[in-house]
Structures are given as C-alpha cells and as structure tokens.
Amino acid sequence: MNEEQRLQSSQVKASPSEKKPEKDYSQYFQSVYTPPSLKDAKKRGKEEVSYFDNFKIDPRFENLGAGRKFYIRTYGCQMNEHDTEVMAGIFMELGYDITDSVNDADVILLNTCAIRENAENKVFGELGHLKPLKLEKPDLLIGVCGCMSQEESVVNKILKTYDQVDMIFGTHNIHRLPEILNEAYMSKEMVVDVWSKEGDVIENLPKVRKGQIKAWVNIMYGCDKFCTYCIVPYTRGKERSRRPEDIIQEVRHLAAQGYKEVTLLGQNVNAYGKDFDDITYRLGDLMDDLRSIDLPRIRFTTSHPRDFDDHLIEVLAKGGNLVDHIHLPVQSGSTSMLKIMARKYSREHYIELVRKIREAIPNVSLTTDIIVGFPNETDEQFEETLSLYKEIGFEMAFTYIYSPREGTPAAKMVDNVPMEVKKERLQRLNALVNEYAAEAMKAYDGKIVEVLVEGESKKNPDVLSGYTAKNKLVNFVGPKSIIGKLAKVKITTTKTWSLNGELLEVVSGQEVGV
C-alpha cells in the first residue's frame, strides 16, 4: 500500500462495530507498483483492518469481457480455490465467458501457492509452457496472482525473467481485478498491483462456486501465528474475522440454494473473533449459531491446537450438522521441536486437548499435518513424532518434508539433516500413516454410513462416489438421480483410502442438480 492509498483508506477506516463505510473502489484506479516487502508484512497491527461491503463493477468496465474467455488454474489450499471462485465471479460480471482450455482463453490466471518450493516450481514451469502460446497470441493476457505474488523475490524474478506475464496481483487485491485487467489491456508494461499490507475484509464480492453440493465460506483471513517455517502470515496478512451476521447470512443463503455441506475456511479458524473489539464472539459461538441452519453438514478448516477452547468443544459435542471430524495439525511430536517451530504448544498440551475432545465427542475422527526434517531435527525428535502419531491414533495425515521459505526465521537456521535422512523419515512416517488409515477403514466393514453423493467416481462412471461426515470416500453403484443427496450405504469392502458399499436408501434432501 502506498502512502496515498494509506491516507485514502484511513478516511474510511471503521471499527467492526460501526456501520460499514461507503467506499468507491474507483478511487484506487491508478497504476500501482508496490513491491511486496516481507519486512512490512511483519509490522503487524500497525494498520487497522477496514470493512467494505459496497463492491461494484465500475460501469466503465462492464463490457470488458465481451467476446472474451477466461481460464484460471488454481494451486494450493481451499483458500485459493475459494479465491478462484471469487475471481470467476468478477470475470462473469465483466462479461467474460469461462473456458477450461488454455488454448481457448483470452486471459489466463495462475492462482499460485507459496507454501513449499515445489509448489512454486510448478508455477514457474507452467509460465514456461505458456510462453509459446503468448508468442502465438500476443493479445492473450497472462496473470500471476495468489500467494506467490505476495513474495518480493517472486515478483522480482517474474519482472526480470518472465516477460510473457502481463499482470501480477496479490491476495489483498482480488477485488481490483477489473482495474488490473483494464490497465493490462491499455498498457504494454507488466501491471504489478501487490499491496504489502494487512488486508481488509471485503463483503459482497461476486462468486461462481465450483459445485452445487459443497461450498466454502471464509470466516477469517490471514494468520498471526508466524510459525517459523511458514510463509502464510506474510502472504495472507493479518488475522481478520468476518462479522458473524455476514457469515450466517451466507450460510443461510447456501442452505436455501440447496447446498448440503459448508466448509468454514481460515488459516487458523480457532482464532476467529479474537480481533473483534466490540463483541465477545468466538468460533464456538459461530458454530452454535450455524447449528440451527437447515444444512446437513458444517465443517471447518484449519484448526490450530493453541486456540481450541473448551466452549468450542462443548458446542461441537452437540453434534447435529456439526461433523465429528477435526483436522488438527500437530506438525511434530517433540516439544523441543514444536518450540523451535514457534507452535506455542507442547506435546503434552496437544495430548490433553485430544483427551478433552475425545471425552466430549467419543467417536471423533482426527487427522493432522506433519513436517519432517525441520532444521536439525534429531532421530529422537522424529521418533517422538511417530510415537505421538500412534498415541493419538490419527486416521490420516498430510505429511511434508520441510521446505525453507525465504524471509521466514527457519530459512536462516543452519540445517545438519541431509536430504536423504529427511526422505527416509518421510517414508517411515507415510508407512505409519497408511497403516493407521487402513486400520481406521477396517472398522467400517459391514457398517452402514451416511454418504453425501457427489457424482460419478473418477475411475468408473458406472459407480457413484461421495464422502461420509468423517470425510471417508465411499464408492457404490446407484442411480445418477441421487447425486446431491444423502444416502445410506452398507460397507462391503475397505481399502486404505476408500470404502466400497451397497446403496440401501436415500436419506433426505431435494435434488440439487449436478
């Protein structure tokens, strides 16, 4: 954010309790080049968050997309997937058509992820593949957005080496897509529109959702945890919560449209509401309010163990449409390692939290994220991760080899663990993860489960597939007419990552289409 914008935004700054201010985004219409700075991103709390709810397309841009098609490729987490839905919504309002082929597109956006080096390499590889297309079709616009655009080094690298790119814009600037596109059409220069700021909360952005059965709903943005290995607090800005009434209204609207499942999104949803200074309202309160909405399933992701409070456990234990599956990333089983990661909880605290959750929700399914090969991780510390995995009995885990991210504290640590050792640890951990996943699945043999039927199985169009409340994939034969409904299925075969079964009956719900 440059000084002028800072002043403009301070004029409309509001505490969350005030009525949301009127704001015209066209005042931002100018060529902006504010390179993202990791140093600025760390100055947390110096800027307040502003709330806006009057996004509208400037009449000047209403026909920008006439006769043109857009294509968005999404990398990374659900947050990015959902941002893509918002950008698709903006494109549609600008009159563009959607296409699923890069060759057919007039605008190509890569919505990028910066979490690990290989995520970034994929994007640079894709930019290389797109170069011949750009040479063939000089009018084609290529844009890079998402988390990589918030990194100083990436922006500089693209400016220097990837002249096929026409636009770079950050995660805080999605609402400026119309202005950015317009500028890109008018200018021969690369349009760079990235703010190194905390980010605002912008309501009423248009969305084109990917499906009609499951939907994502942001409840908060950003992350203030600054785990030492992680780039997200820099790329996504300060923790800031959406107002409860806006979230509840969105979920109600989705229920009315026939959606069957909503996943509440945030990098650290347990910090929801911590930033409100006018009300005491946290994730437990939100879940309690959402329980009364007539929508079969409500999930949330991702939980940070540190902010998981007793009230939330109490509310989740009421069940109903609140699912009994919690994704609770632990990262490591070693207290000393957790300390260096700045996770701010110990192995014992995590175990105690799980004990409390299980006491309240005996059948809860727990899954997690784990990083192996953090700088200087010893064999003993890694063994502690394996032993914690067994002690908790996780049903699934996303496992990663530590990847240094420039600008994070961990990237400066000297690392004595050879890559071979890291790989070997990952293999050992994955073997355990598979063993426990298969074990958890075996318990379903002969049982009847409720499946939200999502569509044809990817492998066999004659088979339907869907997920249980605990997020287990179930395949079974049934009529296509039950897609979008909840069905009771009897499990006949269990595998490590899926279950096969026989359809017994359709539970409820009107058809929502495919």
Residues 414-453, interacting with ligand SAH (CB under 6 A)? none
Task: Looking at residues 173 to 192 of the shown chain, list those that interact with ligand F3S (rule: CB under 6 A).
Answer: none
State which residue, 297 or 304, has the beta carbon closest to ligand SF4: 304
Mask for 123-152, x = binds ligand F3S (CB under 6 A): -----------------------xx-----
Whether 147 has a binding-site annotation, put simply, is yes
Calculate the alpha carbon distances from 213 to 76, 219, 321, 463 in Å: 21, 19, 15, 18
The window from 34-42, 126-134, 223-231, 350-358 that contacts ligand SF4 (CB under 6 A) reads 223-231
To ligand F3S, the closest distance from the beta carbon of 402 in angstroms equals: 15
The residue from 16, 36, 65, 76 that contacts ligand F3S (CB under 6 A) is: 76
Measured from the CB atom, the residue of 94 and 115 that comes closer to ligand F3S is 115
Binders of ligand F3S among 340-399, rule CB under 6 A? none
Minimum gap (Å) between residue 427 Cβ and ligand F3S: 23
Choose between 408 and 457: whose C-beta lies nearer to ligand SF4.
408
437 binds, among ligand SF4, ligand F3S, ligand SAH, none (CB under 5 to 8 A by kind): none
Helix then strand count (H, E) for the chain reads 14, 21
Residue 113 in marked binding region:
yes
Q: Which of residues 315-374 bind ligand SAH (CB under 6 A)?
A: 329, 331, 369, 371
Question: Which of ligand SAH, ligand F3S, ligand SF4, none is residue 113 near (CB under 5 to 8 Å by kind)?
Answer: ligand F3S
Give the tokens for residue 465: 């597939």
Per CB under 6 A, does 223 bind ligand SF4?
yes
Q: Is 145 annotated as a binding residue?
A: no
- Which of residues 197 and 304 has its CB atom nearest to ligand SF4 in the complex? 304
Residue 329 binds ligand F3S, judged by CB under 6 A: no
Rounded to whole angstroms, the Cα distance separating 476 from 479 reads 10
CB burial of residue 386 (10 Å; 0-12, 13-18, 19+) = middle
77 carries a ligand binding annotation: yes
Contact by Cβ (8 Å): 389, 420: no
For 40, the token pair is 């600025």
Distance CA 269, CA 304 (A): 7
Could you give the CA distance from residue 224 to residue 46 in angstroms, rounded to a whole number? 13
Token readout for 58 is 């400037």
| HSE-CB of 202 using CA atoms within 13 angstroms | 21
Dihedral (Cα; 268, 272, 276, 279), 10-degree rounding: -160
Q: One-letter amino acid identity for 192?
A: V
Enter the DSSP assignment of 322.
B
Instruction: Print the binding letters for residues 300-339 with ligand SF4: x by CB under 6 A, - otherwise.
Output: ----x-----------------------------------
- Smallest gap from Cβ 263 to ligand SAH, in A, equals 14
Instruction: Give the position of tokens 């390692």.
Output: 337
What is the amino acid identity at position 212?
Q
How distant, in Å, are the alpha carbons of 29, 52, 166, 183 from that of 61? 12, 20, 18, 11
The site partner of 405 among ligand F3S, ligand SF4, ligand SAH, none (C-beta below 5 to 8 Å per kind) is: ligand SAH
Question: Do residues 439 and 395 touch, judged by C-beta distance below 8 A?
Answer: no
Nearest residue to 221 via CA among 258, 268, 180: 268
With CB under 6 A as the contact rule, which of the stretches 67-75, 83-91, 228-236, 247-255 interacts with ligand SAH?
228-236
* Helices 379-392, 347-360: crossing angle, 10 deg rounding: 10
Pick from 79, 105, 142, 205 the residue near ligand F3S by CB under 6 A.
79
Q: Give the residue, chosen from 20, 82, 116, 297, that forms a contact with ligand SAH under the rule CB under 6 A.
A: 116
| Start-to-end Cα distance in the chain | 42
* Burial state string for 166-193 with b = 16 or more CB within 10 A and e = fewer than 16: bbbbbbbbbbbbbbbbbbbeeeeebbbb
Beta strand 261-265 pairing with 214-218: parallel
Per CB under 6 A, does 225 bind ligand SF4? yes
Asked if 400 is part of the footprint of ligand SAH (rule: CB under 6 A), the reply reads yes
Per-residue binder mask for ligand SAH (CB under 6 A), 251-280, x = binder: ----------------xx------------
Task: Evaluate whether 221 touches 265 at the Cβ level (below 8 Å).
Answer: no
Q: Name the minimum Å distance from CB 73 to ligand F3S.
A: 13
Binding residues: 77, 113, 147, 223, 227, 230
Positions in the binding site for ligand SAH (CB under 6 A): 115-116, 229-230, 232, 267-268, 302, 304, 329, 331, 369, 371, 400, 402-403, 405
Positions in the binding site for ligand SF4 (CB under 6 A): 223, 225-227, 230, 232-233, 267-268, 304
Binding residues for [4Fe-4S] cluster: 77, 113, 147, 223, 227, 230
